[in-house]
Structures are given as C-alpha cells and as structure tokens.
Amino acid sequence: MSDDDGGFGPDNLPYGVFSRPRGERRIGVRLGTGVVDLSALGGHLAQASLNPLMAAGRREWTAAREAVVAHVVTGPPVIPLSDVTMHLPFEVADYTDFYSSEQHALNVSAILRPDSPGLSPQWKHLPIGYHGRSATVVVSGTPIVRPSGQLAEGVFGPTRRLDVEAEVGFVVGTPGRRIATDDFAEHVFGVTLVNDWSARDLQAWEYRPLGPFLAKSFATSVSPWVVPLDALATVPAPPQSPEPLGYLLPAGPAFDLRLTVEWNDTLVSTPPFASMYWTAAQQLAHLTSNGASVRTGDLYASGTVSGPERDQVGSFLELTRNGAEPVKLADGTLRGFLENGDRVRIAGTARSVAGTEISLGSVSGTILP
C-alpha cells in the first residue's frame, strides 16, 4: 500500500454514494482521502444509487471502470471525505448470510455445544446459510441501538451479549437463477465489508431448529465502498474434501483479503479471508440451485471470517470464549461483549489485479443504549 493514497489509488477506485450539505446523492469513487464525483460521466454513473449500473451487467461494468480510470488520470477535483456524507451505495434487495469458515464453525460449536463439538454432518457438503433482513442493512457509521428480546425463559430485556461478526459481502448485479460457479463474475458486481451484529443470548434461546431470527435481524452494517471485482486479484480456492457435488464445481476464485477488527481503537483481531472453506461462487451457485432467483442489489455475506489463531477470530464470542476470558483494551478496561458507547471498526486490504495492496475501506458502528 503506498503511503500517499492509503490503499485508495488508481488500482482500486471503489464506488460509493455521497452527498454534500443540502446536495443530492451522487455516485463517486474513493481516491486517497476524498471522493471523485462521477456524475459528469453520465449514464449509469449519473444516478443516486449503484443499482442501475449494477443491473447493466458485466460488459457495462468493465466499460464504466475504464471510463472512471480515464477520468481519474485527468486529475479531477477530489472532494475531502470530511465534506461529504456517505450513504448506502445500493438498495439492498435480499440479504443472505453464510457460515463458510470452518474454523469459525468449529470454534462456535466447541463454545456453545461442548457436548457435541465439531462440524454438523452436512457442513462439507453444502455452504450453510440463512436468509436475513435487508431492511436493516445500514451504512457504516449508523449507530447501533442495543436490541432487546427474549434472553431466556421468562426474561425480556436488552441483550447482555452483543457481538460482532467480521464478514465479506458480495453484491449481486445481474439477476439470475441456477447460476453456475463459472458464471460468478457475470452476476457479482463487487465486494463490501460487513459487520453482522449478533445478540448471543437471544440467539442461544431462539435459534433451534430454524436458525438465527431476531438475534441478527436488528442491524447489519456495510462499508460505504463497493470494490469492483475488476479491481481484485484472485487466488486458487483452498482444497475441499470430500469433493462437492457437480453443481458446486469448479470452486471458482478465492480472494486473499485480510481483515482487521478494532474494538474502541484497540486492534483485537486480524481475520484471514483466504482461509474460507466455501467460495463466493459456490455460495451463489448453492443459493440459486433450487431455482430461487437473485436480483440486482442482493447482498450475500461470507459468514464470520475466523483463522486458526486466537487473534484471527471474527467474533467476540470466540475472542473471549463467550465472555469467560475477557480481553484488555488499550485503555486498560476489560471486555467480554459490547458495552454501550463501544465502537467497532472492521477494515480490510486486498491485492489488486495490478499487484498493489489496496484497501477495502471499513465498516464502523457505535453501540447506543
């Protein structure tokens, strides 16, 4: 990452939607510490959301990126981020969350189900997921109000085990159904960072047998920046055994993304995305394999990203062993789960197709009572 652009140089150019005071929403790309207004380029770039561009398909995406790169080299004005408000960059259609980190699944199982630790029998045969709530996907910086709910039998109140999940989101551009893994890049527009906030006490009480419901539907935060697939270098997917069924093959590309999790400005974890078991192409193939359709603006998230080390986990449930082993923050205070006023920032870096280190931006949220 070069010092002067902070990972937001001309090899990156993630898209976002910004406004200036009393101004309308516009599409821009991040350049250094500012944003370049793309409205002068016209067409799908002169809109208030990324959806029209996302709906236009892969050829248009590549053409738009070429036009943006050509525009950026002419030295256009860069509006400082401090002068703009960032918005949700696209209208979220459906939101789906997967569970594709083997290490995360093993950790959670050992912590929450010590009587039967390990992967569930289908785990290596299909990418497990659930359908979430798109209406509560919010842009980074939106305060997160501590949810209330049933915490245990006869107890309704504010969650005492509010947690984060560091994830990578994939944004669908072109609609489709029964999408082959080879067609991943025809349908997926780009990548954004996701924090899938989770209330562990609600979750433990409500989730069997149908899975997460209110424990995760209250808020999901996303970065304001969508990094186009065209910007990202790919790496080979990790080996899978047993071999998945044919509709999940070939596995498709993997991405060497490195995340960081900061709790009140203390770096507590560095989750490695390259270690994910199921690829984003397999997740999309599975999601649509029954004939279900995806549409422009669908967001699907990887699942919590956890590596093998204690300081590589993507949730505080894992980091603090369900609160039993608190972490010490830089100010000397101890934390098991989130307290009111706490702030979490998930950031990430990637390798660009040009071989440079680029930033995925960040997703932050502060907890309100």
Ligand X SMILES: O=C(O)/C=C/C(=O)CC(=O)CC(=O)O
Residue span 94-133 as binding mask against Ca ion, x where in contact by CB under 5 A, dash where not: ---x------------------------------------
Residue 201: name the closest of 156, 171, 160 by CA. 160
What are the C-alpha distances in Å from 285 to residues 83, 122, 305, 337? Answer: 41, 17, 20, 35
Q: Does 99 bind ligand X (CB under 6 A)?
A: yes
Residue span 197-216 as binding mask against Mg ion, x where in contact by CB under 5 A, dash where not: -------------------x
Bridge-based pairing of strands 357-368 and 144-145 is parallel
254 DSSP β-pair partners: 235
Contact between 11 and 231 (Cβ < 8 Å): yes
> Based on C-alpha coordinates, what's the Rg of the chain?
20
Least separation in angstroms between CB 209 and Mg ion: 20
Q: How many residues bind ligand X (CB under 6 A)?
A: 13
Least separation in angstroms between CB 302 and ligand X: 8
Q: Does 318 bind Ca ion (CB under 5 A)?
A: no
Contact between 28 and 80 (Cβ < 8 Å): no
Residue nearest to ligand X (CB): 303
Residue span 165-194 as binding mask against Ca ion, x where in contact by CB under 5 A, dash where not: x-----------------------------
Looking at the Cβ atoms of 172 and 305, the one nearer to ligand X is 305
Least separation in angstroms between CB 165 and ligand X: 5
Looking at the Cβ atoms of 29 and 88, the one nearer to Mg ion is 88
Distance of CA 234 to the CA centre of its chain: 17
Residue 99 near which of ligand X, Ca ion, Mg ion, none (CB within 5-8 Å, type-dependent): ligand X
Least separation in angstroms between CB 109 and ligand X: 6
Looking at the Cβ atoms of 109 and 356, the one nearer to ligand X is 109
By CB under 6 A, the residues from 143 to 172 that bind ligand X are: 165, 167
Residue 216 — left, alpha, or beta (φ > 0 → left; ψ -120 to 50 → alpha)?
A: alpha
Residue span 110-129 as binding mask against ligand X, x where in contact by CB under 6 A, dash where not: --x-----------------
By CB under 5 A, the residues from 191 to 210 that bind Ca ion are: 196
Q: Does 104 bind ligand X (CB under 6 A)?
A: yes
Q: How many residues does the chain have?
A: 369
Least separation in angstroms between CB 222 and ligand X: 14
By CB under 6 A, the residues from 183 to 242 that bind ligand X are: 196, 198, 212
Residues marked as catalytic: 104
Least separation in angstroms between CB 30 and Mg ion: 25
By CB under 5 A, the residues from 312 to 331 that bind Mg ion are: none
Least separation in angstroms between CB 165 and Ca ion: 4
Looking at the Cβ atoms of 288 and 304, the one nearer to ligand X is 304
Residue 220 near which of Ca ion, ligand X, Mg ion, none (CB within 5-8 Å, type-dependent): Mg ion
Looking at the Cβ atoms of 84 and 301, the one nearer to Ca ion is 301
Looking at the Cβ atoms of 216 and 351, the one nearer to Mg ion is 216
Q: Which residues bind Mg ion (CB under 5 A)?
A: 196, 216, 220
Q: Which residues bind Ca ion (CB under 5 A)?
A: 97, 165, 196
